[in-house]
Amino acid sequence: MSTRFLLFSTIAHCIICAAFAFEPSPLQDFCVADYTSSARVNGLACKSPSSVGAADFSFSGLHIPGNTSNPNGSRVTPATVAQLPGLNTLGISMVRIDYAPWGINPPHTHPRATEILTVIEGSLQVGFVTSNPENRIIMKTLQKGDVFVFPIGLIHFQRNVGTKNAVVIAALSSQNPGVITSANAVFGSKPDISSDILTKAFQIEPSLVHNLQAKF
């Protein structure tokens, strides 16, 4: 009986550890990022608490509209640990996204974060795609005040379906969520993914692969 209890206890402990291993809770009040440190840690090294001030926990800029004059017609303004050092070890960040009419935030994924988005202005079509083999798209058109969640790691997108600019604020469950834009990763890798691999994967002509790679 004691052996079985020990086994179950060990398994439970492993499950709990796995659940918290992604971005563990901080072991002190805060660990403000020290951008000047060369220490290699999972995250960023901490500044001395005695040198920490209010500026380390504040960021100004999410009230400023992003410049959407680009091929996608959107702009992401981040407030991650790279802009806000006080986020270090806290497992959270946020962004503002601006969209021109019919602008898109192209299919992408956040490898380290779930995202929850709320529409501040405009109408937005949003969706994500489930993993293989189903690859089912889950999609909805949102209005001002609506909220939508994109599960961690899944490819998702947004498109402004209104005639005016749209704005969202999104929170992410990582201080450094990362972003992998699908088209950039596949056709814009450095060096290029071999064209014969992409030709077979997408069932398209090699000339089209080369054209796409040239765009990214």
In the annotated binding site for Mn(2+), the residues are: 108, 110, 115, 156
In our burial notation (b when 16+ CB lie closer than 10 A, e otherwise), range 85-110 reads: bbbbbbbbbbbbbbbbeebbbebbbb
Our CA dihedral for 182, 187, 189, 193, rounded to 10 degrees, sits at 120
How far, CA to CA in Å, does 3 sit from each of 8, 9, 14, 16, 171?
A: 9, 10, 17, 20, 44
- Side chain identity at residue 45, one-letter code: A
**Calpha distance 11→7 (Å, rounded):** 6
Closest CA to 33 of 73, 69, 80, 103: 80
Tokens for 136? 């089912």
How far, CA to CA in Å, does 8 sit from each of 14, 19, 126?
A: 10, 17, 42
Our CA dihedral for 80, 128, 125, 211, rounded to 10 degrees, sits at 90
Annotated binding-site positions = 105, 108, 110, 115, 156
Annotated binding-site positions for oxalate = 105, 110, 115
Our CA dihedral for 135, 216, 104, 81, rounded to 10 degrees, sits at 90
